[in-house]
Amino acid sequence: MMRPTMNAATAVTSTTVVQVLTAFAALTIPSLVPLVVGEAGLHAVDVGTFISIVYAAAALVTIFAGHLVHRFGAIRTCQFAVALCAAGLLMARTGSAVGLVAGAVALGLGYGPVTPASSHLLSQSTSAANRRLIFSLKQTGVPAGTALAGALVPVATLALGWRVALGLVVIVCLLVALGLQAVRTGLDEPTNNHGYNARPGMLSSITIALSQPYLRLLALTAFVLGGAQMCASTFLISYFYRGLGYPPLAAGAMLSVANVAGVVFRLVWGAAADRGANPRLLLAALALLTCFAQAIVAWPSLMASHAAAMAVCFVMGAAAIGWNGVLLAEIAEAVPVNQVSTATAGCLFFSFGGVMTFPAFFGAIRHASGGYSASWLWMAGTAAALALILLVSGRRFSGNVVARG
């Protein structure tokens, strides 16, 4: 049940700021490395490897995120997360390979618990009438943070130097961590009063995510669409630049269009679900749109027109980047309020699994086939399979949503 004393606007604002900042921090190093010369340590760790370490650490800590939220509170967990991001950037600021690896681990440990903590908080501060829109609003923080990092970090690096640029992000992280203290009293509460075990087992989040058929379906959806989102974010620029010969700025614009569509349509899909659209069928439609866009983009002749390519990337972003809020709100609806953070953490563990494995398969297929088309078609096939599974699920999951105010 929603706590009447909880300020919903404060909860949404606080969690969105944290989501933006942790996404920004995670992408800070990849955004500045290409611009830095003469720093052997920065180039000793490949950007792809750095991101893989971040997500591996995030997946690991996600297993424990439910326990952290119930032990310390959602806002306190967010404070820890932002402070860990600051520590990770300070480690990376040493410029050594060891510092970069340790920094990537710390950034991942900070990035992982944020969504379960936010879901726990928002599930208590929102009503069923607007829950999916609010969750979607908060989830716009991820592409927004990514876009801001790509836009601001290179500018700060060129103007002030990379160490100063990192230092500025560290200062912002610490200020936000301190600022959250002002709202913690009004938002955090002891959750053990709900009867939740304060010391759940290490795999309790995964156990809950697999405990009922509907949550297993949502975990599978998070796995596939998480992988599809990461493939789009990772390979769109290189595909248009190296695969199709687009100018660098035009290739970058394709990813920008996809990200903008993802931000806008996270809100559109959330509002649609709140106004009566069946969330399961909506997720199936997004999987089908992902399949369509990634199948079309696989054909170089169809991508010869920049306008056509931009339209396809817009659709891809709307679907493959726009699904998160609807799914996270559906997890919150499917379990009692005292299990929201743990169930979210379990499903996110599978999402991180897709994030880490799908780009590797995509790259392996590209290497084996000698081009990108087979990789995009493979990705489209997995999205089509997910859509089919969601569509044939029918009404057998209709009783799994927990009634809540």
pLDDT one-digit tens code per residue, 321-378: 999 989 988 998 888 888 888 898 899 999 999 998 898 899 889 989 998 999 999 9
Q: Please report which confidence band the pLDDT of residue 10 belongs to, taking 50, 70 and 90 as the band edges.
A: confident
Closest CA to 50 of 234, 262, 318, 263: 234
Look up the pTM and report it.
0.81
Q: Tokens representing 260?
A: 């903008």
Which domains, from first to last, does the chain contain? 4-185 (1.20.1250.20), 203-396 (1.20.1250.20)
Determine which of 73-87, 303-317, 321-335 has the lowest per-residue pLDDT on average: 321-335
Question: Can you give the pLDDT at residue 394?
Answer: 63
Question: Can you give the pLDDT at residue 189?
Answer: 67
Q: Please report which confidence band the pLDDT of residue 398 belongs to, taking 50, 70 and 90 as the band edges.
A: very low
Do 155 and 274 meet the contact criterion of CB atoms below 8 Å apart?
Answer: no
- Residue 7 or residue 59, greater confidence: 59
Q: Please report which confidence band the pLDDT of residue 235 belongs to, taking 50, 70 and 90 as the band edges.
A: confident
Question: Can you give the pLDDT at residue 5?
Answer: 43
Q: Tokens representing 58?
A: 């995030």
Do 176 and 298 meet the contact criterion of CB atoms below 8 Å apart?
Answer: no
Please give the Cα distance from 208 to 200 (Å, whole number): 11
Please give the Cα distance from 67 to 108 (Å, whole number): 17
Do 366 and 372 meet the contact criterion of CB atoms below 8 Å apart?
Answer: yes
Q: Please report which confidence band the pLDDT of residue 101 belongs to, taking 50, 70 and 90 as the band edges.
A: very high
Determine which of 39-53, 162-176, 285-299 has the lowest per-residue pLDDT on average: 39-53
